[in-house]
Amino acid sequence: MKQSDNTSRRDFLKITGIASLGFMGLQHFVSNPLYAAASLGHTDNIGYGPLLPDPQGLLSLPKGFSYKIISKKGSPMSDGLLVPGAPDGMAAFKGANGRVILVRNHELSASPGSGAFGAQNEMLSKIDKDKVYDYGQGNPQLGGTTTLVYNPATGVVEKEFLSLVGTTRNCAGGLTPWNTWITCEESVIKPDAVNSCEKEHGYNFEVPASEKMKLTKAVPLKAMGRMNHEAVSVDPRTGIVYMTEDTSDSLLYRFIPKKNGKLLKGGQLQALVIREQKSQDTRNWEKLTTPALPIGQAFDVDWIDIENVESPNNDLRLQGYDKGAARFARGEGMWFGNNEVFFACTNGGKYSFGQVFRYTPSAHEGQAAEKKAPGKLALFVESHDSKIANACDNMTVSAWGDLILCEDNTAPFVVGITPKGEFYKLAQNIGSQSEFAGGVFSPSGETYFVNLQAAGLTVAITGPWRTRTA
């Protein structure tokens, strides 16, 4: 392993490895339904205090906190193109001289005027056609990524440019230990004139986290499966990639690469099976007749191979479920912690307000010996009260151990969960009826970046993070 690889993995663990701290305190709590914490959350003496009205009518924050809009859809970028709309999943990487590199998704399809090329795609000729995944005979898919180089010392975006294009509905994704962003298509549209498609969609793509202004050639990672991809999380010890799927009957997947860090070289796609109960339905919906998955209980798991991964009929989840894979309710955000993977299910739970799961990989993850020492899956929390948490989506973890969740609804909050399992509100979107998306901290932990999707805004939030009331 090269020294640069060691360094990138250490930085990755600094960013992702704190997640366990944010959940250790939940152990006392998860044996009871989440509504039991209603008296703990949303009080002035937990978190950072009450949210204060924003004179600008955009974002309510606690006392001492402030935000700055650092990017807005339609604004000119450094490459002469325009900031695309619908910003979504995002990751922050360490740049040179204290800079932060943000790689940001845009959940767009082929509607002219919403992307980087102008109202009628009149600036399309500015880019190299060969780097576009789906050119759509001149009406390309406008999803993809932009990259921002942000200077925390000045609060200024010093560079902003299109870094991948021609993909569709790039919702979430995940950062890797080798300093790339995996961006995921949440769509399985096929070539046709209606969707302006020349190629099949439903793939992952990889984008370098680079300060160099460059459009990356969009190459699908087909071995990782064709589905409604949502988010990914990478174990830096093994290079195994875990993936969520945004459907109401989704599976949890893992991809074992043939070569660590070289996803284009292929690998094996698998789905998680709860050993004790094949084809377990973890959604816990009230209308289901199957027994509810209990909160806090860890179950041994197995992994089954998924075949025909390019899935022309979009049936990977059905194939897996028939083979015994567990079923989840709209798998969404993921975060890799201290040898653990956390992921959210947006409308899981008895009242469909959301769930958060924890997967602990085996010490022999991806090897034959894991049969004797299997990984374990547990349902950590399940919301029975929309005032506590509603439609859990993207997630990240602060440097001091709190889990930070973005809500995906028309009156959303950014919600914090303390190590003791206490809930608080960190921010409220009062400027638009739109989800928060892509919330992530800078490598230093001093700035929280988040997108207001419908408004097409990326904001940087700063404040007295370490003063949270215990």
Convert the pLDDT of each residue in 72-126 to its tens digit. 999 999 999 999 999 999 999 999 999 999 999 999 999 989 999 999 999 999 9
Name the nearest CA neighbour of 202 among 171, 227, 169, 167.
227
Q: What does the pLDDT look like over 390-429, one tens digit per residue?
A: 998 999 988 888 889 999 998 899 999 876 767 899 999 9
The pLDDT tens digits along the chain (470 residues) read 333 444 455 555 455 544 343 333 333 333 333 322 333 334 457 889 999 999 999 999 999 999 999 999 999 999 999 999 999 999 999 999 999 999 999 999 999 899 999 999 999 999 999 999 999 999 999 999 999 999 999 999 999 999 999 999 999 999 999 999 999 999 999 999 888 899 999 999 999 999 999 999 999 999 999 999 999 999 999 999 999 999 999 999 999 999 999 999 999 999 999 999 999 999 999 988 888 999 999 999 999 999 999 999 999 999 999 999 999 999 999 999 778 999 999 999 999 999 999 999 999 999 999 999 999 999 988 988 998 889 989 999 888 888 899 999 988 999 998 767 678 999 999 999 889 999 999 999 999 999 999 999 999 999 999 888 76
Report the C-alpha dihedral over residues 54, 469, 378, 178, rounded to 10 degrees: 70
Which pLDDT score is estimated for 380?
A: 86
Q: Which residue has the tokens 């109960």?
A: 277
9/313 Cα distance (integer angstroms): 37
Q: What is the dihedral of CA 113, 194, 167, 16, to 10 degrees?
A: 100
- Residue 49, CB-side half-sphere exposure with 13 Å CA sphere: 11
- Enumerate long-range contacts of 320-323, CB under 8 Å, 24 or more apart: 320/251, 320/271, 321/249, 321/251, 321/279, 322/279, 323/271, 323/273
Instruction: List the one residue out of 242, 236, 232 whose CA is nearest residue 260.
Output: 236
For 345, residues 6+ apart whose C-beta sits below 8 A from its C-beta are 282, 283, 328, 329, 330, 331, 332, 354, 355, 356, 357, 392
What single-letter amino acid sits at 363? A
Residue 28 is predicted with a pLDDT of 32
Q: How high is the pLDDT of residue 238?
A: 97
Give CA angle at 241 (283, 302), nearest 5°: 55
Closest listed residue to residue 362, CA positions, set 275, 232, 262: 275
The answer to whether residues 35 and 388 touch, using CB atoms and an 8 Å cutoff, is yes
State pTM to two decimals. Answer: 0.92
The residue to which tokens 């979430």 are assigned: 172
Give the chain's domains with CATH numbers.
Answer: 3-467 (2.120.10.30)
In three state form, how does the secondary structure of the chain look?
CCHHHHHHHHHHHHHHCCHHHHHHHHHHCCCCCHHHHCCCCCCCCCECCCEECCCCCCEEEECCCEEEEEEECCCECCCCCECCCCEEEEEEEECHHHCEEEEEEECCCCCCCCCCCCCCCCCHHHCCHHHCCCCHHHCCCCEEEEEEEEECCCCEEEEEEEEEEEECCEEEEEECCCCEEEEEEECCCCCECCCCECCCCCCEEEEECCCCCCCCCCCCCHHHCCCEEEEEEECCCCCCEEEEECCCCECCEEEEECCCCCHHHCEEEEEEEECCCCCCECCCCCCCCCCCCCECCEEEEEEEECCCCCCCCCCHHHHHHHCCCCEECCEEEEEECCCCEEEEECCCCCCCCCEEEEEECCCCCCCHHHHCCCCEEEEEEECCCCCCCCCEEEEEECCCCCEEEEECCCCCEEEEECCCCCEEEEEEECCCCCCEEEEEECCCCCCEEEEECCCCEEEEEECCHHHCEC
Token pair of 432 as six digits: 């638009």
